[in-house]
Amino acid sequence: MRKIIYTLLLLTTTHAAFSQVRREVQPSIPSDSSIVAGNTGTKADRAEMVKALNLTDGQKKAFKEVNQSLKTDRSAIQADTNLSEEEKKQKMTQLRVSYLEKIKGILSPEQFEKFKQMRNNKQGENL
């Protein structure tokens, strides 16, 4: 009888101990709608970028459209089951190049240089 009680006690204690395992919180997926492609996409990052670049209302609107397009295109590439992983990587690279060309068309040369510098700094922080 004691063996059964000790076994039940051991099983209950073990079960309780394992059910309290700490689980790591998964970081959120970066937002593609952020102004800086590849950053964490926080509102503070976007606000900082807008302020630093001194964007006009027209530029802000154009950025929003380009970023929405980027998000849609990226989702379509990721969801395409007909593409191999290598093809997806190639398409994503083409998408990033296209994105930067569109951004370059929106910004003045000085703003674009500042954009690239801020983007590189942010990517360096994420490494």
Map 80-112 to HEC letters: CCCCCHHHHHHHHHHHHHHHHHHHHHHCCHHHH
Q: With pLDDT > 70 as the criterion, what percentage of the chain qualifies?
A: 72
Q: 32: which 2 tokens?
A: 């593609």
Band (94; pLDDT cuts 50, 70, 90)? very high
Q: Name the residue ranges covered by the structural domains of the chain.
A: 40-127
- Residue 99 · residue 52 · CB < 8 Å: no
From CA 106, how far away is CA 113, in angstroms rounded?
A: 12
Could you tell me the pTM of the whole model? 0.59
Band (110; pLDDT cuts 50, 70, 90)? very high
- Residue 36 · residue 116 · CB < 8 Å: no
Band (6; pLDDT cuts 50, 70, 90)? confident
